[in-house]
Chains A and B, each alone.
Chain A
Amino acid sequence: MSKNPQHCGCDEGSRLVSRRSVLRAALAAAAVGATTYTVGDVSTQVSFAGAGWNGETLVVLSLHGGFDGLSAVVPGGDGAYYANRPNIAVPRASLLGLDQMFGLHPAMAPLVPFWKNGTFGVVHAVGQSDPTRSHFAAMEQMELAAPGSSVRTGWIDRTLGSLGTGSVLNAVGFSNQTPRSFAGPNQETTMTSLEDFNLIGPGDDRPTWHAALRRMHTGARPEVGAPATTLITAMENVAQLKGAAAGPANGATYPGTDLGKAMAQAAILKKSGAPVQVIALDYGDWDMHAGLGRVDGGWMRDKLTELSSALAAFATDLGPAFGSTTLLTLSEFGRRVGENASGGLDHGHGNAVLLLGGGVVGGRVHGVWPGLGADRLVDGDLAGTTDYRAIIGEVLQKRCGAGSLSTIFPGFGGPQLGVVRAR
């Protein structure tokens, strides 16, 4: 076992991937390539970036539970919205940045500067091709993103396969669980935080621990051996970044919540220059069947406040790195247009996707608005006029350097909306 953990990781990566024909070419490139990344005054050269990485980072923020896009990006110009929500509608007078049709919930005030400078935008009436109102079926379908096919890998995993990988930091999830979108043969890393991402125990002994653990897992069944090996390599890589990581920059202030902490970690990772192609985060608890609240207080107001302040802090903290970052939100479905008697909203369909980043065409609501008139609704729901894959696909092609989308979204094609500018 080499004494140099970086070489360790690379050898191990090559060994793991050599069995995967689909990645052979990308890995051969990774094995000879080298990337220098810098944290503070520490500069580290490592041979781990995939050849396909162009420097862009896609941040996927999952709003699990069924985000009500109509409360966030409010169709204040549509009278049917107010007729359907007599108790929980956001009053037109309180909407921010209202145009002919849409305005933002006032709790989204922290994002207004980005709306104004054109780096925060929205696509409305986004849906899935085969809508279901089951959280679990809808989430699974969205994270696999291959409806009607037998593909069982996740779309982020296929994205890594398409762009080229070779680093365990290519895709990082800040979460306790591995998202379904990571399922598949490529290496992703999940962690609760960079700071805690190391073994406790004998301090001076880590190289020996790591070597012993690698050896012990050599012949392990893949579902045990692969995460163990990925972990050891990722710990070695992260150890180099985190020591030098400074606090938030540019006066950014994150909310002191799980989301705020996770976004702050994501910013550290991005600012380090490490080859992070995708960062996945989960911000759940949007399942508001009862007690959604009103514009001046309650569940939705509080959630939108936290979400908006975390996103604004992230954009501010990134500084120049904001230019090579694109964040998008995804939620398995939107909510019913009409409120129920519990002051909440049952499961629906069409939803809003939020986009934030240096290349975003913001300050406006994209997509085709189907309207909320009774004759325009589909079974009481906002219709989905834009497939969510069209948005991700455009970001992958224009920002992340993906060529064809055929392996990422099998069987899916369609025109681009113009939600981001090409790099």
Chain B
Amino acid sequence: MPTSPVVSRGSRRAAPTPFAHESAAAQLHLLRRATWGPTPAALAEVARLGTAAWIDRQLNPGTVDDGAVDAFAGRMPFYWRSAADLISGGYAATGWNAMLATGRLTLARQIWSERQLFEVVVDVFNNVLNVTNPSSEVWGCRQDYDRNVVRRHAFGGFGDMLVASARHQAMLIYLDNASSTAQHPNENYGRELMELHTLGVEAGYSEEDVKNSARLLTGLTIDARGNAVFDANRHDGGGRTIFGFVVPPHAPADGGGWIDAYLRWLAVHPLTARRISLKLATRFVSDTPPATLLDAMTRTWLQTGGQIVPVLRALFDSAEFWASAGQKVRTPQEDYVATLRTLGTRMETSGVEGITKIFWHVLDQGHAPMGWAAPNGYPDVAAAWTSPSGTLNRWNRHMDFAAGWYPPELQFTPALQLLPSIPSTWGALVDALGVRITGQKPTADEKAGLLLYAGRSEGQACSANDPWIRNNLQYLVALTLDSPTFTIR
């Protein structure tokens, strides 16, 4: 926890304030939360800019050059095609290529994008409005959903994102609204919209509310050419009330307007404001975020009509955020990404084979981006992920990456080049590795374990010519990545 005195620096709201947090520990805390893992370069940047300016820059991603990753994205042409275009071409011409490109590119952006905070927030909303990728029916539209729903609105308005989601082929197919009709409403989307995308199951709506929600949403479907449309012939124009939202009997042709009004009403409902704030606070603050923080975020949500950036500012402006260091554990995917980031692993010079292999890996381990099989998105609390098998997966990937074994297409930094020079004692060596890899010195227990592995004592002299170091340093790097300190978000 940062200990520097609190000094106001003209924060955006009157509350007591925040950005006095310029200790190295606070900067490290910020990067662990607001990126997919600190790197030496990012730590240097935040030290140079200060945390407030660093956050400002990240909240304006258009000002951050991301040319390298943009160029890499150009290697995935399927990703850039529209839903209608792919669907009209038929499954045989596309297969799973567009979905796989979407997953791989997302992973690449997490590892290499300079717009790190944006990539973190995109991940949060990919889970809020989850459309499992890859999954069988969205082969032609998941890439379009990624570009035109989640990424387009992640730093915009939640109401716009929700409407875009409801009217997108991917969501229409994934939660079956495309097949819902006035005569035979399919309840899947109508229910998950309330439960997962907005109010939350604890809101207290009734089964009749769910049915009415499904009935109102009829008409949103997909036409024969693969376009998402509103078909008045399928719409139930009856009058009804949905958890307090009153819809009068209306001409079916006006149904689209009533649906959008309902979605926008849901987007700024106080329960939605609080629930999505909880999702963000769970990502950035703790598994059980304090009510005071949720109150502030919810207030901002309601004042701004669900604008996401101001809500994020409220979060980063809060004392609760700065006081939360050490309270989150990384997810398995985050651990993979953070490992590649901290080791300075670079993308392949051509093609996409390296990221493809990394993607299969995280998919097999049950944590590919957007790969959660159910509509509720990945959980983001330690209890969901801290398991023996998850620990083993993390440790094995640390070894792969630290030794540069796999995948060979990526450009790994040799373990011997991670430090500018080899310190003069073994104690200093494990300390230096800790700082280089986790941002801080190892704890006493960690240090004892690392020295135990090396079979050396703390004060014992050490040199770059030591054969043990030349042959085994990568194992010590892997063990440093295995340390409890590295698991902290």
Binding site for B on A (CB under 8 A): 1, 64-65, 132-137, 168, 175-178, 183, 189-192, 197-202, 205, 208-209, 211-221, 223-228, 230-231, 234-235, 284-285, 287, 289-290, 340-342, 344, 346-347, 379
Contact = CB atoms under 8 A, between A and B. Distances in A.
Contact of A344 (B176, B388, B453): B176
B453 A212 contact: yes
A191 B483 CA distance: 21
A133 B452 contact: no
With a 10 A CB-CB cut-off, give which of A1, A168, A287 has the most chain B CB atoms.
Answer: A287
Interface of B: 175-176, 179-181, 183-188, 191, 195-196, 201, 207, 210, 326, 329, 365-367, 373-376, 382-392, 395-396, 399-400, 403, 442-446, 448-450, 452-453, 455, 475, 478-479, 482-484, 487
B186 A289 contact: yes
A220 B445 contact: yes
Contacts of B452: 1, 208, 211-212, 215
13 contacts: A134-B195, A178-B384, A190-B387, A190-B389, A215-B445, A216-B450, A217-B449, A227-B388, A228-B391, A231-B389, A231-B391, A341-B181, A379-B207
Nearest to B202: A137
Contacts of B445: 215-220
B443 to A, nearest CB: 7
Contacts of B386: 178, 223-224, 226-227
Contacts of B399: 199-201
Given A216-B482, A223-B383, A225-B484, A199 B183 contact: no
Contact of A176 (B184, B390, B395): B390
Given A137-B201, A215-B449, A219-B445, A201 B207 contact: no
B179 A341 contact: yes
Contact of A212 (B176, B384, B450): B450
Given A136-B201, A216-B442, A216-B484, 15 more contacts: A64-B374, A135-B376, A136-B374, A175-B366, A175-B389, A176-B365, A190-B389, A199-B392, A212-B449, A213-B395, A216-B479, A221-B326, A289-B188, A341-B184, A346-B188
B479 A212 contact: yes
Given A215-B445, A219-B445, A209 B453 contact: yes
Contacts of A65: 374
A226 B196 CA distance: 31
Contacts of A217: 445, 449, 484
| Chain B interface SS verdict (over half) | helix
B374 A227 contact: no
B176 A289 contact: yes
B200 to A, nearest CB: 10
Nearest to A339: B184
A199 B396 contact: yes
Contact of A342 (B184, B384, B453): B184
A174 to B, nearest CB: 9
A151 to B, nearest CB: 15
Contacts of A176: 365-367, 389-390
A290 B186 contact: yes
Q: Which 9 A-B pairs have the closest CB atoms?
A: A341-B184, A176-B366, A216-B449, A215-B449, A212-B453, A220-B484, A231-B388, A342-B179, A178-B387
Contacts of A211: 452-453
Contacts of A224: 329, 386, 484, 487
B448 A215 contact: yes
Contact of B180 (A132, A190, A192, A342): A342
Contacts of B390: 176-178, 190, 227
B484 A213 contact: no
A158 to B, nearest CB: 16
Nearest to A174: B389
Contact of A197 (B201, B392, B455): B392
